[in-house]
Amino acid sequence: MSRIITVAAAQMGPIQKAEPRSVAVERMVRLMERAHKRGVELVVFPELALTTFFPRHYHQDISEADSWFETSMPSNETAPLFDAARRYGIGFHLGYAEVAHEADETGNVRKRHFNTSILVSPEGDILLKYRKVHLPGHAEYDPKRVVQHLEKRYFEVGNLGFPVIRAPMGGLDGINMGMMICNDRRWPEAWRVLGLQSVELVALGYNTPSLNMEAGGFEAHHLRVFHSHLSIQAGCYQNACFAVATAKAGTEDGAELFGHSIIVNPQGEIVAMASSWDDELITADCDLDMCNLGRTTIFAFDKHRRPEAYGRITGQIGAVAPEVWKKA
Ligand code: CDV
């Protein structure tokens, strides 16, 4: 019997700075209602889905940025999402900014900020939490940039690794599910850590500007989308898994996000793609047995991986210069 789950990427159009969470949540509940009508069993929302992509805004006093963060999940404002999950029998993935009071690596309990995502069951239970590891951007105001990207100012590096959980979802007894957030998708290490836990479905939310502000905007628009898709398609193929990659899209606070949400199969093929820059639901029936081909042949990790040759992957951060050839 094949293992099929119907999934949706619930792309969201822009959320402006002044818009309250209640408006975003209302839009998300509408998307869940539409998903239910289409027989969807798991809905994936974008990164930082409750507010505008606030790391583009500079707060000199960092504590002022706390208004963008959630202190509890669920909360009064996000409860309608959990209610909709129960009402429609749909699981969901949500990206949000999390503030937590917890110990750091030195044992000091303090207020900590993370770019977080959760996977929620159709019963409203939080099955898995992930905190973004690869934080792009910068920590200080950069006068050269037209639009800031201050993730390194507002978030700490995620401290939960790349976890995978096996849990029931839709009509299936168990699916191996993992998450990554936006920039993580560009790092093969992130995919492989999930792959090494037999992930079958990766939920991934993103907010990606149409222009590369670091490069003065010279990177062509179509290459921005291409690199996003290339990374996700390669990650799925090389780790024999599905991905539901969901964007926030359109012009938000005057800055453009490119959208192009996709669902990808373990062959690396795009099986659904968003075409608007607005709230849009794309769906696919994912037969998880498709994961078996890659993981028992080309990417049978137990047979073919050579970790003894991969020492640099974890032993080193930046690239070093190679040895220079000299004529004997
Ligand atoms: N939110 C992100 O992580 N965005 C990055 C941008 C800054 C390049 C991304 O990788 O899409």
**At 180, which CATH number?**
3.60.110.10
**In 3D, which of 271, 269, 254, 259 has the Cα closest to residue 228?**
259
Domain for residue 323, yes or no? no
pTM for the whole thing? 0.97
Domain for residue 322, yes or no? no
Domain for residue 324, yes or no? no
Which SS3 state, helix, strand or coil, does residue 181 take? strand
Query: Under a CB-based contact definition with an 8 Å cutoff, are residues 8 and 85 in contact?
Result: no
Distance (Å) from CA 183 to ligand 1 centroid? 5
Catalytic residue among 47, 98, 252, 280: 47
Task: Indicate if 248 belongs to the active site.
Answer: no
Task: Indicate if 144 belongs to the active site.
Answer: no
- Whose alpha carbon is nearest atom 6 of ligand 1? 208
Domain for residue 327, yes or no? no
Domain for residue 44, yes or no? yes
Domain for residue 124, yes or no? yes
- The tens-digit pLDDT sequence of the chain (328 residues) is 789 999 999 999 999 999 999 999 999 999 999 999 999 999 999 999 999 999 999 999 999 999 999 999 999 999 999 999 999 999 999 999 999 999 999 999 999 999 999 999 999 999 999 999 999 999 999 999 989 999 999 999 999 999 999 999 999 999 999 999 999 999 999 999 999 999 999 999 999 999 887 766 578 888 999 999 999 999 999 999 999 999 999 999 999 999 999 999 999 999 999 999 999 999 999 999 999 999 999 999 999 999 999 999 999 999 999 999 999 9
Domain for residue 328, yes or no? no
Q: Which domain holds residue 229?
A: 4-315
| Strand arrangement, sheet containing 42-44 | 126-131, 109-120, 91-103, 42-44, 4-11, 280-287
Domain for residue 325, yes or no? no
Domain count of the fold of the chain: 1
